[in-house]
Amino acid sequence: MDNTNAIISVKNLVKKYDDFTAVQGISFDVYENEIFGLLGPNGAGKTTTLEIIETLREKTSGEILVDGYDVDKDASKIKRIIGVQLQAAGYYPNLNLVELMELFSGLYGVDINPMEMLEKVNLQDKAKAKYKALSGGQKQRFSIATTLINAPKIIFLDEPTTGLDPQARRNLWDLIIEIRKNGTTVVLTTHYMDEAEQLCDRVAFVERGEIIAVDTPDNLIDQLISTGFERKKEVKKANLEDVFIQLTGKEWREDN
Amino acid sequence: MSKPYNHTKATMALAKASFRSIMRSPSAVVFTLAFPLVFILVFGFLGKGGLKVELAVAPGSDLHNPIIVALEENPVVHLVRDKDAGEIKNGLEKGNIDGLINVQKNTAEKPAYKAKVEYTSASVDKGNVLKSVIHNLMYNLNSKDVMPTVAELNESTVQGRIYRTIDFILPGQLGFSLLSTGVFGTAFVFFNLRQTLVIKRFFATPVRKSSIVFGEGIARIGFALLGAVFIILIGHFFFHFTLVHGAITVINMLLLAIIGLIVFMGFGFVVSGIAKSESTIPPISNIITLPQFLLSGTFFSIDAFPSWLQPISRALPLTYLNDAMRKVAFEGAGLWDVKHQIMIMIIWGICIYAVAVKVFKWE
C-alpha cells in the first residue's frame, strides 16, 4: 500500500467487565482504503474491539480516533461515516427488503433509491421478500447493503462469511473487493485463514485481549517459513474446496 | 455530511416501519380489532333481542281465550306451541323452556277460564319474570270491568335517550382493546427488537433513543386510533351506539383513547424490561390486563360488585378510561367534565413511567 494514512487509530484500548478483562491494551492503525482483518479464536476480544470502535460499547480506557473523530466526544459524527454489520443483527419484523432500506435511509438521514442499493448486492429479485425468507448468503449481502446506505468511509464486517457455502463465500469476497475498489476502507473479522489471505491487505492476530502480530499476510507467512517451519504434507495445486467449486459450479446459485 | 442530521425524519421513518409491521402482525389485528368486535357483535345482537321468556303451551290447552291472546301480544313472552308433552318436560328440566301454561274452559260458571302454570327450578330468574308478567296480566284481565275500590294506579315513563347494551359494552371493549394493544404490543415489540439485536443495529446509526421510543409510540397510537374509529363507527351505524354530539363526541373519545394508550404503553415498557424470556411476557401482561378486564367495568358496572371489591376497581386506570368514555359518549360530556378521570389516568401515567425508566432495558 502506498497510502498509509491511518483512518482508524487505536491506542492502549482496555475493556474490563466486572470480573475479567476482555481487551488489555490493544494498539493498532487501520490505513485508508485497505481491507484490514482482525483474526483470532472465539472470545479473544475481536468483537468487543470492533464494537468499541463502532461506538456501540463503552471502553474502560485508551484512545480511539476514527477519521479524526474521538469516540468519546464525537460518537454521532462517527456513526454518520461508518457502516456496521453486526454478527447476528436482526431486522425489523414483517417488512420487505425495500421497506427495510427505506427505514435505514431515514435512520441515516440520507435519500437513496432502495432498488439501486439492492442491485449493488445483487438482491433486486428479492426486493419484496422478507429478511427472514432469505438464505444465509442473501442475509449477509443484505446486511452489507444496509452498511452502504450512508456512503460510509469505513465499513465493519463481523464474521461476514460464517456459515456460508463455498459459492456464497466467494461471492461475498467479490462484493467486499468491489466495495474497497470504490474507496471504502473495510475492517473485518473472520475465522477462515484462506479468506484473510485472499482478502486482507493487513491482518492483526488477537489472542486473550492482546495483539500478538500485525502485518501483511505475506510477511507473516514468510516470517514463519524463515523460522524453519514446513508443512507436513506437500501442498497440491488444488484443494478440496476447488474440487467442490468445480463440481457444483462456480456461478451464483439461486439460494446464494 | 453537509446536511445536519434530521431527527424528525428518523422518527417518522421508524413510525412508518413500525406501522407497516403492526398492520401485518396477526396478533395486533386480532387484539385491537377482531376481539372487541366479536364482543360488540355478540352483545349488540343480545341487546337488540332483550329478555325473552320461553313459555310452552301444553298440548290440549284451549288456545282461543283472552289469556293466550294477551300472552301473544306480550313482548317478553315467546309462546312455544308445537312441542309434545315429552319434549316440554325435557325442556323444563334443562331450563330451555321457562314455564308451561295450560288453559281450560271452566265447567263452572265463574271464572270463565282456569290457567295452570308450571315453573321450573332450572330457570328461576326467568320464572320470576314470567310470574310477574302473568300476575300482572291476570290482574288486568280480571279488573277490566271493575271499578277500583281503593286507588287507581296511573303509570307513565319519561321519554329519555334509550340506553342500550351497546352504550355500556362498546366503551368497555374500546378501553380493553387499548389496554391490550398498549401492554402486549409494546412489551412484545421492544422485547423482540432487543432480543433480535434490531435495536443494536439501530444504535449503529445516528438515531437517538428518544426517536425509537417516539417512532414506536406514534405508530401504535395511529394504529389504535384507526381501530377505535372502526369500532365506534360499526357500533354507531349497526347497533345505534349513542354519540350525543356526533363527530365532536368521536374526537373527544379519540383524545381519551390517546391518553389511555400512553398510560397503558407505560405498562408495556415495564413488562418488556422485567420479562426474562419471550414466554414470560404473556403471563406478566395478563397479570396487568386480566384484573382490569374483569374489574374495571368492561362487562358489568362496578356498582354491581361486592363492596369490598369496589375500592380495588376504583384504583385501576381502565376503570377511569371506561367511565370517561361512557360519560363522553352517552351523556355528551366534554373533556373538562371528565377531568377527574383524566387526572387519575395521568397520575397512573406518571407512576408507571417512573417505574419504566428504572426497569427498561435497551440491550
Q: What percent of chain B has pLDDT over 70?
A: 94
Residue-wise burial string across A114-134, b where 16 or more C-beta atoms lie within 10 A, e elsewhere = beebbebbbbeebeeebbeeb
Chain B positions touching A56 (Cβ under 8 A) are 200, 203-204
Chain B positions touching A100 (Cβ under 8 A) are 17
pLDDT tens for chain A, 256 residues long, are 445 789 999 999 999 998 888 999 999 999 999 999 999 988 888 999 999 999 999 999 999 999 999 999 999 999 999 999 998 888 999 999 999 999 999 999 999 999 999 999 999 999 999 999 999 889 999 999 999 999 999 999 999 998 888 888 888 999 999 999 999 999 999 999 999 999 999 999 999 989 999 999 999 999 998 988 888 777 788 888 888 888 887 665 555 5
**pLDDT given at position A254:** 53
pLDDT over 90 at B30, yes or no = no
Our CA-based measurement puts residue B6 at a distance from the nearest CA of chain A, in whole angstroms, of: 6
Nearest by CB to residue A103, choosing from B17, B24, B25, is B17
Highest mean pLDDT among A69-73, B46-50, B294-298, B305-309: A69-73
Our CA-based measurement puts residue B275 at a distance from the nearest CA of chain A, in whole angstroms, of: 20
Chain B positions touching A114 (Cβ under 8 A) are none
Q: Which three cell numbers, joined as nine digits, stand for A10?
A: 487505536
Under an 8 A CB cutoff, do B18 and A88 touch?
no
Under an 8 A CB cutoff, do B13 and A107 touch?
yes
Rounded CA-CA distance A146/A9 in Å is 25
Chain B positions touching A151 (Cβ under 8 A) are none
**pLDDT given at position B219:** 95
CB-based contacts of B256, cutoff 8 Å, min separation 6 = B321, B324, B325, B328, B335, B338, B342
Residues composing chain B: 363
Rounded CA-CA distance A219/A188 in Å is 19
**pLDDT given at position B20:** 94
Which residues, listed in sequence order, are joined to residue A64 by a DSSP beta bridge?
A10
**pLDDT given at position B148:** 67
B90 against B160, higher pLDDT: B90
Respond yes or no on whether the N-terminal peptide bond of residue B311 is cis (omega within 30° of 0).
no
Nearest by CB to residue A95, choosing from B20, B193, B201, is B20
What is the C-alpha R_g of chain A? 19
Chain B positions touching A108 (Cβ under 8 A) are 205-206
DSSP type of residue A184: -
Chain B positions touching A88 (Cβ under 8 A) are 197
**pLDDT given at position B1:** 47
Chain B positions touching A89 (Cβ under 8 A) are 196-198, 200-201
B327 against A233, higher pLDDT: B327
Residue for grid cell 328461576: B124
**pLDDT given at position A189:** 94
In chain B, which residue's Cα lies nearest the Cα of A146?
A: B201
Under an 8 A CB cutoff, do A84 and B201 touch?
yes
**pLDDT given at position B99:** 87
Q: What is the pTM of this model?
A: 0.79
Rounded to 5 degrees, φ, ψ at B118 are -115, 135
**pLDDT given at position A252:** 57
Q: Which three cell numbers, joined as nine digits, stand for A15?
A: 475493556
Our CA-based measurement puts residue B184 at a distance from the nearest CA of chain A, in whole angstroms, of: 16
What is the side-by-side strand order in the sheet with B99-105? B77-80, B53-57, B99-105, B113-119
A interface mutation test: which of B29, B201, B214 has the most A CBs within 10 A?
Answer: B201
* CA distance from start to end of chain A: 32
**pLDDT given at position A175:** 92
Give the residue from B201, B205, B190, B186 showing the smallest Cα distance to B7: B205
Nearest by CB to residue A90, choosing from B10, B25, B198, is B198
In chain A, which residue's Cα lies nearest the Cα of B4?
A: A109
Nearest by CB to residue B198, choosing from A81, A84, A92, is A92
**pLDDT given at position A1:** 44
Tell me the average pLDDT across B110-137: 83
Under an 8 A CB cutoff, do B203 and A99 touch?
no
pLDDT over 90 at B222, yes or no = yes
Q: Which helix (H) or strand (E) holds A109?
A: none
Under an 8 A CB cutoff, do B13 and A102 touch?
yes
**pLDDT given at position B304:** 79
- Biggest alpha carbon distance in chain B? 109
Under an 8 A CB cutoff, do B21 and A106 touch?
no
Our CA-based measurement puts residue B208 at a distance from the nearest CA of chain A, in whole angstroms, of: 9
CB-based contacts of B302, cutoff 8 Å, min separation 6 = B295, B296, B310, B313, B314, B319
Under an 8 A CB cutoff, do A54 and B198 touch?
no
Rounded CA-CA distance B6/B11 in Å is 9
Per the CB < 8 A criterion, the answer to whether B61 and B262 are in contact is no
Under an 8 A CB cutoff, do B206 and A79 touch?
yes
Nearest by CB to residue B21, choosing from A79, A82, A95, is A95
Nearest by CB to residue B197, choosing from A55, A86, A93, is A86
Our CA-based measurement puts residue B32 at a distance from the nearest CA of chain A, in whole angstroms, of: 18
In chain B, which residue's Cα lies nearest the Cα of A54?
A: B204
How confident is residue B48, by pLDDT bands cut at 50, 70 and 90?
low
In chain B, which residue's Cα lies nearest the Cα of A111?
A: B9
A interface mutation test: which of B8, B191, B193, B203 has the most A CBs within 10 A?
Answer: B203
Question: How many beta-carbon pairs below 8 A join chains A and B?
Answer: 87
Under an 8 A CB cutoff, do B5 and A80 touch?
yes
pLDDT of B132-150, one tens digit each? 888 888 888 887 766 667 7
Residues of chain A that touch chain B, judged by Cβ-Cβ distance less than 8 Å? 54-56, 76, 79-82, 84, 86, 88-95, 99-100, 102-109, 146, 150
B interface mutation test: which of A78, A86, A92, A100 has the most B CBs within 10 A?
Answer: A92
Average pLDDT, chain B: 86
Our CA-based measurement puts residue B21 at a distance from the nearest CA of chain A, in whole angstroms, of: 5
Rounded to 5 degrees, φ, ψ at A42 are -60, 140
**pLDDT given at position A2:** 47
